[in-house]
């Protein structure tokens, strides 16, 4: 294998593994938020705003993993 092939495989592994965690985390986050809203509808605003903040932070981890994968590929 040449150098470019190794870089492409490393990019694919970094992107794949780096996005799996945030994907699972977002699914759990939204599921638990909907469960909490279902149990206490009066707390919708507080639960929803906290969920959005958590989703943004979780999504940032996925974006960082993709940036790292592209850095592996192009540097």
Q: Which tens digits make up the pLDDT trace of 18-32?
A: 999 999 999 999 999
Overall domain count for the chain? 1
Q: How far apart are CA 33 and CA 10, in angstroms?
A: 35
The range of the structural domain enclosing residue 68 comes to 3-10+19-74
Name the average pLDDT for the chain. Answer: 95
Tokens of 46: 């507080």
Within 13 Å, how many C-alpha atoms sit on residue 27's CB side? 6
CATH number at residue 63: 1.20.20.10
- Residue 18's pLDDT is what? 93
Q: How far apart are CA 69 and CA 60, in angstroms?
A: 14
Residues 6+ apart with CB under 8 A from 26: 55, 58, 59
Whether the full predicted model's pTM is greater than 0.95, yes or no, is: no
């Amino acid at each position: 294998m040449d150098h470019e092939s190794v870089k492409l495989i490393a990019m694919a592994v970094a992107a794949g593994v780096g996005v799996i965690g945030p994907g699972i985390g977002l699914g759990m986050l939204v599921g638990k938020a909907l469960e909490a809203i279902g149990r206490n509808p009066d707390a919708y605003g507080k639960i929803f705003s906290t969920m959005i903040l958590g989703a943004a932070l979780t999504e940032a981890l996925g974006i960082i993993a993709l940036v790292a994968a592209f850095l592996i590929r192009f540097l």
